[in-house]
């Protein structure tokens, strides 16, 4: 006998199998914004008790200077209950029995009948009947949470209830044939895509399932063991190993949901024809940019010009988590057996752990057991954290399942007592601001150069025009003076010549008159005549002098005009000089501003050099003690772990200095100095990056900003061994992260490290390179590629110096590689003999298996044990003398776990047993 979900029964592709006639539509006109602006912060009792609400005003987009990031608002978990209609089986089997649940949606209340005359009453935030539409469910339960996510808050939507009560229908229905049947996931993504700008904002989704306490990627089924990472400072939970896909439209989102649902585990039970056997979790990351208005800034003349205010744009990050829990069930009712029984036990254990956490939060307990299950670890932000959480509990009407229905209702009642501290997540987009500043600086420099060139061209033009005008005026003035002088000289000579001729005539006449003995009368007449002629001559000379005066005055007037033209030319030259001085002042101001920027850059470089020097001093002190890359070896595990060195007060002060520089200068500026022309600046910059890479919290930022690529480029292009040593140390720290390991391999990191190792002369450089390769050796997925690019041979080649630190890192890498090979052979992925043996590592392993240094000996002993676990290696190990070392380890090893592993390995290998019997050796 199976219990289906009536009109909500659906297949995994989202198609509805049956429908039910609705007598009325109970949807209510609801303003979703109003539901967001208030949240109930009071604690409800299990029975019918009054509830008080407090207003939660929506935050407006403002700058981070208001400290809104630090402000927190109480937000209680909101719980809605949804009743599933009777299915076909219940209509027949329970025809003579009344429903165990009575709903009072107008009072937000339900009654759970104990018998015909007694019942318990419970209140919820929303009570939804079996006739409530999918749209109303979304608007009441999910839409306020989605709007909070768009405003920069974290949000969680979760469905809880017995198997077959409609959780997957409520959350994951695709509604391909009937759009009215779309579930919360589809409707939430529609609202998110409608509320963002695709050109500036991003939406990323991950879809995974928690099956048998193992997290599996529904978008990439091969990724079937994802680990959970927690930020030690903020407590945020993340899954760096899960697929993260960017969504641009609703169609691609629906395709991803179909793909994920196809990979989800489901089976047929007596309670549900297609019961989910895993908890499905959809995680949506929304990143929105908040645009600031342009402000008008006054220019030098006092007038306002529209210049963009160079403030960093605000980025809001919200995360929406939609959780479709697997249904709780009783084994006797579901009929589960075999593997399905184990699945049911795992589901009930995780739901029980979730219930314990909610009980502890509701009772304000000092200890909340969030680490009892991976489900509670994933939901630690949803209950008692910073997320706005809405829970929909689904129940059935059948009295046969009254116990499960009561348990579900009590779960919802306890969840209503949990209060979260809602915090908005905003940050400055410093990368965008840096790009804007760089662009503006380039524009200013180009404009300055253009103005300087135009200014110089204008000066040359004005100078040339002034010189041409002065030369022309001087030439005209000289020509006019010469012309007047010649004219006056000619007139003067003509007048003198005429007077001389007249005087000669008069002399001849006087001579003739003196020689003649004429009468006195004639003499007087002649005398009168001479007097008249003399007067006429004087009058003529006066007239000529007057004419000469007039000509001289005209020449003087012409000279005055020329002087006026010359003065005007000089005024124009003065104006040109004034404009030239003004342009000189503008250039001087631009030069001052450039000098100021250069001084600031020089100051920052000085700080960088000082901090790098302090980091060098700290590194020298630490090199005598412990190294950056440490290894801890468990009983049978050789996983590399990055352990921060135990430093003294000076080391802590250096770290704080580097962190202060990181905050003031920014990672992008520090990385840009890796390409500086000055070799000293480049060396100090790579030391600062290496110190930052030692902190796990900085590694992701360094990789995202291109730091890993820059470090690899330094290994490729630089010949300085100091740079090689520090860059290899930074790469070794980054290689402790699995995601970074794949990036290092994809960019040819092993080949670069191998080439650098062949050139290195300093043992400390080889130690850093060996540490980086050893970290890569611990990745199962990269073994074939690492060996193909010469990683094993590079490790073996680095033992040429015999330095114990280098040998310890080489031994660690070989142990990691052997451990991964052993695991692959156990799982059936590898059948041939070890790649280590093929590359000739066995003689060195045997030779150093009893090394005096404990760190080297411990790794070699583990490597021998792991190689011996694969029968294909037995012949080579017997011939190479490794069997005797295994016997020695099983007897004399100081560590109990390694000694026990060696004994088990010898006892499980037929080849080893036969050889020991042949030699009559008792192990």
What are the binding residues? 161-168
3-state secondary structure of 298: strand
Closest CA to 323 of 376, 369, 368, 271: 376
- Exposure letters 853-869 (e unless 16+ CB within 10 A, then b): eebbbbbbbbbbbbbbb
Burial string for 561-574 (b: 16+ CB within 10 Å, else e) reads ebeeeeeebeeebe
Helices (H) and strands (E) in the chain, counts: 32, 23
Backbone angles phi, psi at 284, to 5 degrees: -115, 120
Binding residues for ATP: 161-168
Half-sphere exposure of 841 (CA within 13 A, CB side): 29
Pair 801, 764: CB distance under 8 Å: no
Q: How far apart are CA 203 and CA 467, in angstroms?
A: 69
| DSSP-assigned beta bridge partners for residue 127 | 81
Burial of 601 (0-12, 13-18, 19+ CB in 10 A): exposed
Q: Who's near 782: CB < 8 A, 6+ residues apart?
A: 741, 742, 745, 776
Beta pairing class for 229-230 and 237-238: antiparallel
The torsion angles phi and psi of 730, rounded to 5 degrees, stand at -65, -40
Distances, alpha carbon 468 to alpha carbons 461, 465, 566, 575, in Å: 11, 5, 12, 16
Distance CA 735, CA 629 (A): 10
**Rg, C-alpha atoms of the chain:** 48
721: its two tokens? 């061994």
With tokens 């008080």, the residue in question is: 52
Q: How far apart are CA 417 and CA 309, in angstroms?
A: 46
Q: Among all chains, which residue has been given the structure tokens 């604690």?
A: 43
Tell me the H-state helices in 112-249.
134-137, 143-150, 167-172, 184-194
Q: Are 259 and 218 in contact (CB under 8 A)?
A: yes
* CA pair distance 655, 238, nearest whole angstrom: 26
Backbone angles phi, psi at 790, to 5 degrees: 85, 25
């Amino acid at each position: 006998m199976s219990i289906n979900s009536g009109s909500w029964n659906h297949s995994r592709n989202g198609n509805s199998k049956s429908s039910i006639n609705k007598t009325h539509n109970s949807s209510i006109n609801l303003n979703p914004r109003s539901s967001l602006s208030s949240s109930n912060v009071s604690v409800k009792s299990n029975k019918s008790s009054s509830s008080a609400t407090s207003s939660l005003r929506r935050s407006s987009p403002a700058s981070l200077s208001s400290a809104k990031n630090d402000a927190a608002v109480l937000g209680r978990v909101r719980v809605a209950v949804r009743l599933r209609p009777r299915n076909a089986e219940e209509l027949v089997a329970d025809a003579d029995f009344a429903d165990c649940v009575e709903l009072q949606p107008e009072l937000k209340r339900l009654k759970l009948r104990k018998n015909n005359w007694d019942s318990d009453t419970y209140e919820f935030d929303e009570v939804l009947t079996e006739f409530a539409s999918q749209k109303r469910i979304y608007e009441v339960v999910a839409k306020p949470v989605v709007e909070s996510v768009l405003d920069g808050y974290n949000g969680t939507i979760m469905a809880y209830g017995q198997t077959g009560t409609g959780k997957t229908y409520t959350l994951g229905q695709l509604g391909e044939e009937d759009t009215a049947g779309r579930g919360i996931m589809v409707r939430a993504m529609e609202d998110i895509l409608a509320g963002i700008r695709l050109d500036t904002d991003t939406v990323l989704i991950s879809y995974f399932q928690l099956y048998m306490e193992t997290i599996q990627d529904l978008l990439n089924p091969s990724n079937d063991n994802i680990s959970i990472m927690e930020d030690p400072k903020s407590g945020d939970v993340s899954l760096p190993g899960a697929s993260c896909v960017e969504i641009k439209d609703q169609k691609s989102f629906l395709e991803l949901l179909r793909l994920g649902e196809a990979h989800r585990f489901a089976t047929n039970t007596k309670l549900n024809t297609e019961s989910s056997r895993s908890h499905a979790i959809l995680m949506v990351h929304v990143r929105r940019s908040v645009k600031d208005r342009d402000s008008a800034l006054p220019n030098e003349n006092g007038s306002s010009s529209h210049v963009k205010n160079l403030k960093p744009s605000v980025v809001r990050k919200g995360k929406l988590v939609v959780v479709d829990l697997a249904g709780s069930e009783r084994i006797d009712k579901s009929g589960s057996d075999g593997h399905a029984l184990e699945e049911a036990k795992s589901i009930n254990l995780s739901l029980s752990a979730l219930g314990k956490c909610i009980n502890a939060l509701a009772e304000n307990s000092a200890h909340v057991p969030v680490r009892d299950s991976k489900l509670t670890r994933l939901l630690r932000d949803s209950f008692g954290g910073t997320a706005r959480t809405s829970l929909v509990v689904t129940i059935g009407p059948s009295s046969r399942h009254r116990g499960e229905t009561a348990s579900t209702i009590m779960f919802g009642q306890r969840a209503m007592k949990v209060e979260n501290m809602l915090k908005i997540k905003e940050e400055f987009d410093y990368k965008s601001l840096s790009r804007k500043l760089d662009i503006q600086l380039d524009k200013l420099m180009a404009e300055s150069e253009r103005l300087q060139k135009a200014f110089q061209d204008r000066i040359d033009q004005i100078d040339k025009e002034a010189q041409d005008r002065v030369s022309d005026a001087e030439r005209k003035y000289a020509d006019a003076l010469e012309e007047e002088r010649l004219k006056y000289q000619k007139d003067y000579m003509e007048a003198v010549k005429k007077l001389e001729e007249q005087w000669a005539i008069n002399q001849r006449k006087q001579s003739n008159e003196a020689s003649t003995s004429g009468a006195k009368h004639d003499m007087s007449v002649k005398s009168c005549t001479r007097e008249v002629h003399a007067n006429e001559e004087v009058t003529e000379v006066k007239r000529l002098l007057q004419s000469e005066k007039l000509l001289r005055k005209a020449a003087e007037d012409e000279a005055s005009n020329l002087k006026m033209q010359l003065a005007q030319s000089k005024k124009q030259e003065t104006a040109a000089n004034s404009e030239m001085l003004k342009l000189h002042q503008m250039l001087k101001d631009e030069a001052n501003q450039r000098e100021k920027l250069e001084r600031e850059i020089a100051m920052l470089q000085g700080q960088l050099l000082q901090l790098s020097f302090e980091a060098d001093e700290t590194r020298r002190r630490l090199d005598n003690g412990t190294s950056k890359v440490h290894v801890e070896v468990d009983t049978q595990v050789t996983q590399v772990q990055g352990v921060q060195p135990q430093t003294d007060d000076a080391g802590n002060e250096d770290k704080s200095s580097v962190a202060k520089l990181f905050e003031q200068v920014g990672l992008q500026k520090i990385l840009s100095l890796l390409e500086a022309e000055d070799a000293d600046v480049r060396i100090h910059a790579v030391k600062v990056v290496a110190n930052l890479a030692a902190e796990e919290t900085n590694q992701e930022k360094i990789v995202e900003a291109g730091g890993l690529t820059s470090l690899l480029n330094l290994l490729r292009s630089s010949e300085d061994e100091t740079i090689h040593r520090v860059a290899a140390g930074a790469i070794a720290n980054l290689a402790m992260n699995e995601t970074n390991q794949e990036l290092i391999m994809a960019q040819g990191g092993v080949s670069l490290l191998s080439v650098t190792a062949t050139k290195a002369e300093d043992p400390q450089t080889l130690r850093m390179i060996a540490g980086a390769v050893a970290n890569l050796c611990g990745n199962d997925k990269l073994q074939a590629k690492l060996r193909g690019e010469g990683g094993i041979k590079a490790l073996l080649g680095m033992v040429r110096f015999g330095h114990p630190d280098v040998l310890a890192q080489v031994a660690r890498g070989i142990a990691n590689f052997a451990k991964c090979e052993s695991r692959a052979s156990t799982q059936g992925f590898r059948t041939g003999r070890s790649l280590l043996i093929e590359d000739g590592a066995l003689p060195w392993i045997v030779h150093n298996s009893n090394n005096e240094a404990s760190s080297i000996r411990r790794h070699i002993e583990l490597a021998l044990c792991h190689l011996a676990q694969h029968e294909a290696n037995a012949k080579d190990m017997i011939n190479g003398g490794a069997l005797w070392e295994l016997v020695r380890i099983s007897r004399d090893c100081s560590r109990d776990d390694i000694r026990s592993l060696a004994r088990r390995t010898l006892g499980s290998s037929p080849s080893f047993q036969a050889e020991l019997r042949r030699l009559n050796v008792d192990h």
